[in-house]
A and B are shown apart, each in its own frame.
Chain A
Amino acid sequence: MSLEKLELFEVFLRSKRGLDHKHAGSLHAEDKEQALEYARDVYTRRSEGVSIWVVKSSDICASQEDDSESFFDPSDDKPYRHATYYDIPKEVGAM
């Protein structure tokens, strides 16, 4: 198979047990098993991860930057969802 035909995979690494997997980058591979091995070889060469996820890039459904204004707009005018909106006197301790 020619290089152009290889699938694109996104690579996610968990740097330490207990933490979330974070996006690290992407790579081309024939299939998911190969993608996992490549990811190990190129993204964890200095023990950057204890766990790897690979996901076909085409399987990721992403919001569009261009639409983000209207997409995220519903939460822009709701300051009352934040704790700092409420004034709590110091005397009563942290809340």
Chain B
Amino acid sequence: MAEYNKSEAELEAVFQQKIDSEQKIEPKDWMPAAYRKNLIRQMSQHAHSEIIGMQPEGNWITRAPSLRRKTVLLSKVQDEGGHGLYLYSATETLGIARSELIAALQSGQAKYASIFNYPAQTWGDMGAIGWLVDGAAIVNQVSLQRTSYGPYSRGMVRICKEESFHQRQGYVIMMELAKGTPAQKQMAQDSLNRFYWPSLMMFGPHDSESAHSAKSMKWKIKRETNDDLRQKFIDQTVPQIAYLGLEHPDKDLVWNEEKGQHDSGEIDWDEFYAVINGNGHSNRQRIQHHVKAHEEGAWVRDAMSAYQQKKLQRKVNAETAA
């Protein structure tokens, strides 16, 4: 078509013009190779996070303290599996195979949110994860509903509709514990203490340190910077902690009247990079478990293709008989 007559520079100008005027890029549109690559990295990382994120919570399904809580948790973990599917499918529209994405996850070449390398040790952690981890993910995902790539944007709209339940069920767990016995309240505080800082790290490094930020903003893959999104989360979480009657884990947190937002303490970036680089508590376990689950599911995939073959054969037999 007409595009073949245009030079790379002209194509890129048209592309940037679409982005600048808030039009979405769709799978069959021309796009710069680096845009495609950047999207594949970010979207697959997001998909992997949904799937690996099933593990810390999945770990508690059999130990949930009541049948109702078990069904709620199971339902949440099922949703996360669905989110992984939406995102892998959207990534595949960029011309990469699902098997390549999974291979990159399993070899450690692709990353996922490092929050999932922290272990879920208590029932309180099911509260803190839903409330804080899904809460932080929602802040990011609400912003990504406006991302420039159409399939990613539409996936985010669908996911955001489902996420609200995740955060609320987590907060309800926290409310129950915070209003419970002193030991239960202590459990809630302990979970808050362990998950607060890693939740802030979910927004990534400071804007000044972020390798992918500038290009991502120009292409509107990202719509708000890491630090702006993190600030939103910090501010929204303050009254939520106060309502629970728990102590805020950040001792340097103060309201800044002039800015109309909270000033906060510094994140332990050494911990952030250690976990990202594979030295968190559960990194190896998460990937090993993924590989194991995939291998142990081989017989199901084999059975499905055998059944498919059999159905085809039956059809052929019926046709030759007729």
Contact = CB atoms under 8 A, between A and B. Distances in A.
A6 B171 CA distance: 58
Interface residues of A, number: 19
A62 interface: no
Contact of B75 (A18, A80, A92): A80
Nearest to A51: B26
A82 to B, nearest CB: 6
Q: Which of A82, A87, A93 has the most chain B CB atoms closer than 10 A to its own CB?
A: A93
Contact of B243 (A17, A87, A92): A92
Interface in A63-95: 78, 80-83, 85-89, 91-93, 95
Interface of B: 18, 23-24, 26, 68, 71-72, 75, 79, 135, 150, 153-154, 164-165, 167-169, 171-172, 236, 239-240, 243
A17 B75 contact: no
Contact of B23 (A17, A80, A81, A93): A17
A86 B168 contact: yes
A56 to B, nearest CB: 19
A20 interface: yes
Contacts of A83: 164-165, 168
Q: Is the contact region of chain B dominated by helix, strand, or loop, or is it mixed?
A: helix
Would you list the 4 A-B pairs with minimal beta carbon distance, nearest first? A18-B24, A83-B164, A86-B168, A92-B240
A17 B26 contact: yes
A50 B68 CA distance: 47
21 contacts: A18-B23, A18-B24, A18-B150, A18-B154, A80-B71, A80-B72, A80-B75, A80-B165, A81-B79, A82-B165, A83-B165, A85-B165, A85-B168, A86-B165, A86-B171, A88-B168, A92-B171, A92-B243, A93-B240, A95-B168, A95-B240
B169 A95 contact: no
Nearest to A75: B75
Contacts of B75: 78, 80-81
A20 B154 contact: yes
Nearest to A18: B24
B243 A81 contact: no
Interface of A: 14, 17-18, 20, 51, 78, 80-83, 85-89, 91-93, 95
A83 B239 CA distance: 20
Nearest to B75: A81
Contacts of B239: 91-93
B72 A95 contact: no
Contacts of A82: 165
A91 B23 CA distance: 38
A95 B24 contact: no
A87 B165 CA distance: 11
Given A17-B23, A80-B72, A95 B167 contact: yes
B23 A86 contact: no
A81 B296 CA distance: 29
A88 B131 CA distance: 12
